[in-house]
Structure formats: structure tokens, C-alpha cells
Amino acid sequence: MLRFRNDGSAETPALKDVFALDIRWPGDSSAVPVLHRSRGSDCKIDDFLFMSEEIGDRAIRMNAGTNDGRPSVDWLPFFNLQTGTNGIIIGLGWSG
């Protein structure tokens, strides 16, 4: 959980472009990494569609922000990065 607190005597400007999660997961270097995730819900035919995507040699940058103030419209806030028999499960702190 990322929190900010101003202990100073003056107001601070609005914070923007804050990246609360920046990780590298070494996992199993002999396996192709796979990112498992699910779409969110915006009343479409593919709501909550489970997807698996091989990452390979490329990096994936994900913006897990909100859409019109609704946090789980585009993607659910749960991800599984699988590297062979290893993996890491990430759950961001909102439930929609």
C-alpha cells in the first residue's frame, strides 16, 4: 500500500505520475513468461474474459488505473505472472 503524508507547514501541489509498483521477477529463465489476467466489466460480450499472453523477450507495461472513476472496467486487479513452474500472483488493492 502506498500512502503519502505532508508533514510540512505548506500545501504541496497535486501528485501525478506516481508508479506504486515497479518489479522484476526473474522466475525460471528457461521458460517463456506468461501473464494470466482477466478483463473487467463494461457491459460487453467479453466481460471477465480470462486471457493468457506470452511475454517472451518483450516487456509489458500495464496501466492499471481507473476508467471514468470505475477501477475494474478495463482489467480486474489480479494478475498471475507464470515463469515455468514458478510464478507470482499480484492483487492490487481495489475490488471494483
Query: Cell triple for residue 62?
Result: 500495464
- Find the mean pLDDT for residues 23-28: 74
Please give the Cα distance from 34 to 55 (Å, whole number): 6
Entry pTM: 0.64
User: What mean pLDDT, rounded, does the chain reach?
Assistant: 80
Residue 37 confidence (pLDDT) above 80: yes
Residue 70 confidence (pLDDT) above 80: no
> pLDDT for 49-69, tens place per residue?
999 988 877 666 666 566 677
10 by DSSP, 3-state: which? coil
- Find the mean pLDDT for residues 36-45: 88
